[in-house]
Structure 1
Amino acid sequence: MNRTMLTATNTMNQLQKKLDVIGHNLANINTNGFKRREATFTELMYQQFDNQPDAAREIGRLTPNGVRQGVGSKIAHTELVLTQGSLKGTDRSLDIAFTKPNQFLKVLVQENDVSSVQYTRDGSLHVTPVGENEVMLVNSQGYPVLDENENIIVMTEGSKDLQFSQQGVLTTTQYNGQQERFNLGIIEVNKPQFFEQKGENMIGLPKNIDDLDVNQAVVMTDLTGELRNNVSIKQFSLENSNVDMAKEMSELVNVQRSYQFQARSVTIADQMMGLVNGIR
């Protein structure tokens, strides 16, 4: 196959993946607390062809010996962009929004009988019954919200007042005046490039994080103890996604043009091969 075809098809495959990333961002433009991802490209390894077997014969050459040809590009990585989304006011006491861009709630997710802790910025919370006169705090997908010790938050049913402090402390007041306090489980993301989207507007660490020889304490920080003073939450508010429609559409057009250019390269290479094959 023509080298031009190989280079173009390699790049087209990676451009398709970037189109998928942009499409996923646009699909979640109205999702509370959604964080967009951004794909960056890098060149594939060069191949070198030496036109002289002996470098000494390249007399007077000012550039490196041989001819180097690229074989296309690939996506280096897709990084989570943690810029702050705009806030919108609501009238629900169970709606909260982070006002710092790198803080996330802890959520317990169970899939195929396997439980794992994942993280979300979606502050649309709810309560669901779990027993007699008890309710559990859950997120909009129905997964339990955890406290700072990664325990499920279970409250007495019938609270007449629920207040979230700026430091992420949930206080409930019963009709008899008794109060319950819960410290929400909150992390601070330090290295977003290690997180992957798990679906349902949540992120988490990859399953092979232990094989990457990365200290999780460097990747994220549990905001407990004195670090709770760093938490910044606003009640009666929700955070919009940080997806910018104009930016995503501009990026979409650029990727489509690049894809068309690579497809045109394949067509021209095919025509060239046809001409060569037609020579008698």
Structure 2
Amino acid sequence: MSIQMNAATTSMRELQKKIDIISNNISNVNTTGYKRQEANFSDALVLTIEKQAGLQHEVGRQTPYGLRVGSGAIVSQTSLRTEQGSIQKTDRPLDFMIQGDSGFFRVASEGNIYYTKDGSFQVQPRLNSNQVNLVTSSGDAVLDSNNRPIAFDGDYSDIKADENGTLVISYRDPAKQQTQFQLSIAEINLPNLLEKIGGNRYQLPGTEAQQVANGTLQVVNLAEQNNGAIRINQGSLEMSNVDLTEEMTELIATQRLFQSQGRAISFADDMMGLVNTIKG
């Protein structure tokens, strides 16, 4: 009976991981740019029983030789689903969204480069300067196509962006020359390699140069290289791609599976108790 109990225990542990993933999806249903995750399962180690105790002990045997005994199920992979979420129009000049499943804003913090779909940007005054930085809602610097944080004079009057990610900053003084920046966009071809690090941000393992070399990542300047697959919308935000109805349905089904594994442990325990009461 220990085999059945071990298999059920393993499955319960892994099903709890799926429940945690679904719960995280539900809690971020209103988070800007959030991408839902899915848990994929596979069979755990399967033991094939081929060696027999001896022909004299096999009289009347009905089960097949080479009996396969499973050890439960495990979470083999957690997939990041990058399908685009719904569009929320805000008409706010500092709100941007990326149209295209594979496009992410490149942002920087403490010397590290991260990726995000959250385009709810802010302006942050620079210390001892009349300039402001363009930052994310988490305070990370938004990068331009030259891999530098976007900063401009604080007396700006207007910010315009086209679908190619070109920002044009106008100033209150009409005689002052406009400033232009190009948003730096990362096109990520293998989104399942992205690791969540909090703050609605992702990172890739290793260095960015390594990921570019192996084809996982491409740093895109939309003004120079734009086939229309990735575009920028100003005055709009991409909302979460979590479908609350689908997540709740999946949560109920997973909880029922969890309960069934608990009953399997209870049944195995009852049968072990019954065996212990049998006297020779």
Counterpart for residue 17 of structure 1: 17
Report % sequence identity.
39
CA distance in 1, matches of 2:40, 2:211: 22
Equivalence map 1:36-47=2 (5 Å): 36-47=36-47
1:34 matches 2:29: no
Deviation at 1:51, TM superposition (A): 4.8
Does the Cα contact within 8 Å between 1:40 and 1:75 map onto a contact in 2? Answer: yes
CA distance in 2, matches of 1:106, 1:209: 11
Structure 1 runs, 4 residues or longer, greater than 6 Å off: none
Deviations 1:71-115 (Å, cap 9, x if unpaired)?
Answer: 0111111111011111111131001111212211011123xxxx3
Equivalence map 1:79-228=2 (5 Å): 79-110=79-110, 115-130=111-126, 131-177=128-174, 178-206=177-205, 217-224=214-221, 226-228=224-226
User: What amino acid maps onto 1:123 in structure 2?
Assistant: G
CA distance in 2, matches of 1:265, 1:64: 24
User: What amino acid maps onto 2:91 in structure 1?
Assistant: D
Deviations 1:121-167 (Å, cap 9, x if unpaired)?
Answer: 11110101114210000001111111122211111111111011101
Counterpart for residue 263 of structure 1: 262
CA distance in 2, matches of 1:116, 1:53: 61
Deviation at 1:206, TM superposition (A): 3.0
Calculate the aligned-residue CA RMSD, in Å. 2.4
Aligned length: 268
TM-score of the superposed pair, with normalisation by structure 2 = 0.89
Deviation at 1:175, TM superposition (A): 2.3
The verdict on how the C-alpha distance between 1:209 and 1:279 changes in structure 2, with shifts beyond 3 A counting, is farther
CA distance in 2, matches of 1:129, 1:6: 58
TM-score of the superposed pair, with normalisation by structure 1 = 0.89
Partner secondary structure for residue 255 of structure 1: helix
Deviation at 1:53, TM superposition (A): 7.5
CA distance in 2, matches of 1:45, 1:226: 51
User: What amino acid maps onto 1:21 in structure 2?
Assistant: I
Does the Cα contact within 8 Å between 1:136 and 1:153 map onto a contact in 2? Answer: yes
Partner secondary structure for residue 160 of structure 1: strand
User: What amino acid maps onto 2:70 in structure 1?
Assistant: G
User: What amino acid maps onto 2:250 in structure 1?
Assistant: E
CA distance in 1, matches of 2:22, 2:136: 26
Deviation at 1:245, TM superposition (A): 0.2
Does the Cα contact within 8 Å between 2:212 and 2:218 map onto a contact in 1? Answer: no
Partner secondary structure for residue 109 of structure 2: strand
| Structure 1: runs of 5 or more not aligned | none
Does the Cα contact within 8 Å between 1:187 and 1:220 map onto a contact in 2? Answer: yes
